[in-house]
Amino acid sequence: EAGVAQSPRYKIIEKRQSVAFWCNPISGHATLYWYQQILGQGPKLLIQFQNNGVVDDSQLPKDRFSAERLKGVDSTLKIQPAKLEDSAVYLCASSSGRGLGELFFGEGSRLTVL
């Protein structure tokens, strides 16, 4: 069974530039999460999708971050414009159930903002 796919693995940009990350969850998983993990900290939820609907985006900085999951499968997370404090690993995870099923993570996309 293929795992959660993420790209790119690494990205370096200058502040005020934009960046987009892509995630393809495990086939059949209805729930998709985007997390931000700053070095030395646990993952922080940015947004949770159930199929193509948003369940929780309360911690998403909506002035600069956006995410979509148009067909209920893969998802894109965009940052525009980026700030220095956005330097982090962006983890995508998927699950067959909300908070009940096992959570499978991708390898993450490491963003460095200069």
Nearer to another protein, 39 or 63 (CB): 39
Phi then psi dihedrals of residue 84, to 5 deg: -55, -40
The pairing of strands 88-95 and 31-37 is: antiparallel
- Coil vs helix vs strand at 22: strand
Of 51 and 80, CB closest to another protein: 51
DSSP lists the bridge partners of residue 88 as 111
Closer to another protein by CB, 108 or 111: give it. 108
Size of the site for another protein (CB under 8 A): 22
Report in angstroms how near the CB of residue 89 gets to another protein at its nearest: 9
Residues in contact with another protein, shown as a per-residue x/- string from 37 to 66 under the rule CB under 8 A: ---xxxxxx---------xx----------
Q: What backbone phi and psi angles, to 5 degrees, belong to 86?
A: -80, -5
What's the rounded Cα separation, in Å, for the pair 107 and 3?
Answer: 9
Torsion of CA 75, 9, 45, 47, to 10 degrees: -20
Q: What binding mask, one character per residue, do residues 71-100 give for another protein by CB under 8 A, x or -?
A: --------------------x-x----xxx
- Which residues contact another protein by CB under 8 A? 4, 40-45, 55-56, 91, 93, 98-100, 102-108, 110
